[in-house]
Structure 1
Amino acid sequence: MFKQVMTAAMGLMLLGAAHSATAAVEVNTQDPYIMMETVANQTFNRFKSDKPKIDADRNYLKVIVEEELMPHVDYRYAGLKAMGRYVKDASAEQRQAFVDAFRAYLITTYADALGSYTDQTIEFAPAKQQDDAKDVRVYVKIVDPGRPDINVEFRLRKQKDDSWKAYDLKAEGVSILRSKTDEFDGLIRQHGLDQFIQMLNEKAAESVQIKQEQGA
């Protein structure tokens, strides 16, 4: 159930808020709240407009994720965090290989989540004053008729150029980054870092899986 909730939270957030059919607009990366809403809307519009391509090849969802979402994800920061205790002793080459594999893994994970979207909606909480904040939380609620609402919290970091990027998601108080760090820790301990990087790359190379609603 936890995995289902987290996947739904990722996919539904990425697919968006207003369901408008407006043309793509420049993303205001200087405001984390506006950025999240804009990226969500544009991803949803892309999902709709490119549906024939998705129907012909489900892996086209990876293209949408690559082009619409990944520019706004701080995958390097998240990837190094996900290495946990192993980052300290890893070589520079191993750290870069891990980050690259983690990025590819995120693309496939997000693409899988997009393919699970049906007709849910997103409600964004009002923006808060940022002041000199370097890390903010954007709160949203996923509304799915006939099911309990899902409360989601996105964590974003301010970059050196004053833009904002997302690095973590919490669904009902549970952090994806924290859960992945714990999961990866055991697998790296069991297989070694280099072998685990290969495993991540193999997972990332898998075709997009379209999950059918189970009604639970």
Structure 2
Amino acid sequence: MVKKKIKNLLRAKVIFCCSLAFLITPSLQGAEIKTESFRQNPFESVDKMTEQLLDIIEIYKSDYPDNEDAYFSSLNQLMGDFVDFNFVARRVMGKYHSNISPEQRKDFIDVFRRGLIESYGRGLMAYSNESITIVNRQEVKSLKRIIVKQEIRDSVSTFPLQYLLFKKKTDQTWVIVNVSLNGINLTKTFGSQFQNSMKRYSGDLNKVIQDWL
């Protein structure tokens, strides 16, 4: 039921996820995105991600779903530059993270990322020129974590969207580590789903992975 609600919300108005961490991304023109100044500011980083997401939607929407594989691939590359999927997946696994093998950990991260990108991508296709605005822009100064708040508005409704970002120690750039949509915390929601699946399959992670998508 919870999973169905998440998918419905994503289909309605999501500009995420996910993800939920996350890599070096080529742009739509194939040129490599370098560590630009916007990566040093969480608000500018979310702005840039949103801008590039909308570009991808515009490119693929007219032929969707015939081009779904290429569309998901572009989303996966883009989100990899802004989201720390490894961190998010660790949070989702919770206490089980340290009790599984590195290979199992990698397998779950891969299937988790794939599922998130595909659900997110299908939801994004519902986008139809709604207004997307950051509503809490502020000075970052010495902060190491921050919540960036967006509002997605259409003619009748407003959907609050919050990104939690952490500042990386290695290069001082910001990455998304959680998303809350309309008050639903995606990391906690998927974490509950993971724990329930582990209980259902008596701790058999391989079965959890097979059943995740």
Report the Cα distance in structure 1 between the residues aligned to 2:11 and 2:193, rounded to whole angstroms: 16
Equivalence for 1:155? 164
Deviations along 1:145-188, one digit per CA (max 9) or x if unpaired, are: 12x31111111111222111112111233211101101111012
Answer yes or no: is 1:103 the counterpart of 2:107: no
Instruction: Write the mapping of 1:170-209 to structure 2, written as runs, cut at 5 A.
Output: 170-191=180-201, 192-200=204-212, 203=213
Report the Cα distance in structure 1 between the residues aligned to 2:145 and 2:11, rounded to whole angstroms: 23
Q: Where does structure 2 lack aligned partners over 5 or more consecutive residues?
A: 18-28
Equivalence for 2:89? 79
Deviations along 1:105-152, one digit per CA (max 9) or x if unpaired, are: 222122121222223221211422222222110001110212x31111
3-state DSSP class of the match of 1:140? Answer: strand
Report the Cα distance in structure 2 between the residues aligned to 1:154 and 1:119, rounded to whole angstroms: 21
Shift of the 54–6 alpha-carbon distance from structure 1 to 2, 3 Å rule, reads closer
Report the Cα distance in structure 1 between the residues aligned to 2:16 and 2:155, rounded to whole angstroms: 16
Aligned-CA RMSD value: 2.4
Report the Cα distance in structure 2 between the residues aligned to 1:8 and 1:74, rounded to whole angstroms: 24
Percent sequence identity over aligned pairs: 20
CA positional deviation for 1:52: 4.6
Report the Cα distance in structure 2 between the residues aligned to 1:9 and 1:193, rounded to whole angstroms: 32
1:56 is aligned, of 66, 88, 108, to: 66
Q: Where does structure 1 lack aligned partners over 5 or more consecutive residues?
A: 15-22, 204-216
Answer yes or no: is 1:118 the counterpart of 2:128: yes
CA positional deviation for 1:78: 0.2
Report the Cα distance in structure 2 between the residues aligned to 1:47 and 1:63, rounded to whole angstroms: 12
CA positional deviation for 1:9: 4.6
Equivalence for 1:5? 9
8 Å CA contact 1:75, 1:167 repeated in 2 = yes
CA positional deviation for 1:62: 0.2
Report the Cα distance in structure 1 between the residues aligned to 2:99 and 2:144, rounded to whole angstroms: 28
CA positional deviation for 1:70: 2.3
Output the amino acid matched with 1:157. F
3-state DSSP class of the match of 1:195? Answer: helix
Report the Cα distance in structure 1 between the residues aligned to 2:173 and 2:194, rounded to whole angstroms: 29
Q: How many residues align?
A: 191
Equivalence for 2:26? none
8 Å CA contact 2:150, 2:160 repeated in 1 = yes
TM-score normalised over the length of structure 1: 0.78
3-state DSSP class of the match of 1:131? Answer: coil
TM-score normalised over the length of structure 2: 0.79
CA positional deviation for 1:6: 4.7
2:152 is aligned, of 128, 142, 165, to: 142
Report the Cα distance in structure 2 between the residues aligned to 1:68 and 1:125, rounded to whole angstroms: 23
8 Å CA contact 2:11, 2:125 repeated in 1 = no
